Structure 1
Amino acid sequence: MLLCFVVCKCAVSPTGDKLYNINRYQHKLLTLARDGTVLATYRDLLHFPSANIHVTPAGQLLVGDGSCIIQLHSEGNMKLATLVTGKEMYIMRGSVSVCYNSTTSSILVAGQSNSILVFKVQ
């Protein structure tokens, strides 16, 4: 199987010591060391196969899967919060891209509906 069919999205930690990979077929997030060693696996996500991932400057992970956006610990092994769900995500219609803007303390979500949602973080 080609790698592009297994790894859907990936991101790198701010320090460059971890690589986060979303496996779309096994519906999980893998945290890898630089040498490829699996450090952690998080399985309770990815209802939608085109999930997206973003690493904040503090190293926390934001994962958007079309039905919600969750925040994970920087180790990639523990959910910290569900940030966005419900009707806000419904209008995005499918896969989303998620990003954290540290200047404005906002989470930006873009989807297939050609709209962008902005959520202020406390």
Structure 2
Amino acid sequence: MIIPAVTVIVTLTLVRCKCEMKFSSVYKCAVSPTGDKLYITNHWQHKLVTLARDGTPLECLVDRQFGQLDGIHVTPAGQVLVCADWAHLIIQVDSDGKKTLMTEKRGWSPESACYHSETTSIIVGQWNNNNILVLKVQ
């Protein structure tokens, strides 16, 4: 399979904001459906940083109870799903930056998540095992 060339429209440089980015600032990233926001997880500092298209910091969500933040996915509705495998949960952040605990189940370690709109389900890849979970959204 040949992947088409990608055109870089804007090169972003992380800007120091009220929540300073340090060691390994970008772990995973995702773009909003409209392309106006870039979401970045910082694994070691337990942060979710939101940048404008031009790189301007918009928001920084830090919550140590979630532990290290891993995979990130943006749904077509603009909700951000963030995996926190050590805390055994997926965090849902809406477009206003409000966080809600979406799923918690001991014994699993979500590393990546993707919302599938046709089946209204979240597909979850886990750390440290070969199981993929499909969670039906109600």
The TM tier, using the shorter chain, reads 0.7 to 0.9
User: Where does 1:51-90 land on structure 2 (aligned, <5 Å)?
Assistant: 51-66=70-85, 67-75=88-96, 77-79=97-99, 81-87=100-106, 90=107
User: Which TM-score applies when normalising by structure 2?
Assistant: 0.74
Residue in structure 2 matched with residue 91 of structure 1 by the alignment: 108
Does the 8 A contact of 1:64 with 1:70 survive in 2?
yes
Change (3 A) 1:60 1:40: same
Letter in 2 for 1:106: S
Is 1:120 aligned to 2:136, yes or no?
A: yes
Does the 8 A contact of 1:11 with 1:19 survive in 2?
yes
Letter in 1 for 2:118: T
Letter in 2 for 1:47: G
The structure with the largest alpha-carbon Rg is 2
Identity over aligned pairs, percent:
50
Residue 25 of structure 1 and its aligned partner are, at CA, apart by 2.6
Q: 1:48 aligns with which of 68, 84, 95?
A: 68
Residue 48 of structure 1 and its aligned partner are, at CA, apart by 2.7
**CA–CA distance in structure 1, aligned partners of residues 83 and 26 of structure 2:** 15
CA deviation profile, 1:25-66 (whole Å, cap 9, x unmatched): 3211111001111111111264135x1100000000011111
**CA–CA distance in structure 1, aligned partners of residues 40 and 77 of structure 2:** 18
Give 1 or 2: higher helix fraction.
1
Is 1:29 aligned to 2:48, yes or no?
A: yes
Q: Which consecutive residues of structure 1, in runs of 5 or more, have no partner in the other structure?
A: none
Does the 8 A contact of 1:42 with 1:78 survive in 2?
no
User: Which TM-score applies when normalising by structure 1?
Assistant: 0.83
User: Where in structure 1 do 4 or more consecutive aligned residues deviate above 4 Å?
Assistant: none
